[in-house]
Amino acid sequence: MVMNVFFFSDETMHKLYVDNGKYDFIQQIPQIIYSIIVSRLFEIFICYLSLTDKPIYQIKYLMLHNLQAKMRFIFRCINIKFIIFFTFTFVFILFYWYIVAAFCSVYKNTQIAFIKDWIFSFLLDMLIPFVLYLIPASLRICAIRSRNCKGSVYIYKLSNIIPIF
């Protein structure tokens, strides 16, 4: 919702005023796409702070070799990441709540258009992962079905590269 607020410009509000409050989906598409892109960038940062699978694998390896000092260092790094993660998310949730509340209270006549933008952004944002993971899955199926073909190895490697996020 906050990214939609940030990309809700004066031009958009003026267009709503000129059109007597009629919602023009075609005009809103760039705003919706921009808000999704910025949201995805924030998601990458949040995932970096919250995901700890690689350090856990390192700790498992270090437990087998009894390297306690390195394990303590990795635990400290995980703790620092979690503290930064929870602080960052708490501050940003408060900030986001304030921005959305202020926008909706100041621009009462644009709330319907704002909610429609948010719904379309949310739905599109929920559909993107299906598309992103459907492509590599279908490439893997093609590579497995055509094992005898020389290009199947490259198709399989391409399917490993595509799901970056």
The pLDDT tens digits of the residues spanning 93-128 come to 999 999 989 988 888 888 888 888 889 888 988 888
Q: The dihedral of CA 79, 80, 85, 87: what is its sign?
A: positive
pTM confidence score: 0.65
What separation in angstroms does the CA of 134 have from each of 47, 54, 61, 120? 21, 25, 33, 21
**Which token pair is 7?**
């990309």
Q: What is the pLDDT of residues 33-70, one digit of tens each?
A: 888 888 888 888 888 778 887 888 888 888 777 777 78
Of 138, 146, 144, 127, give the one whose Cα is nearest residue 162.
Answer: 138
Residue 83: count of CB within 10 angstroms of its CB? 11
**Residue ranges of the domains in the chain?**
2-127
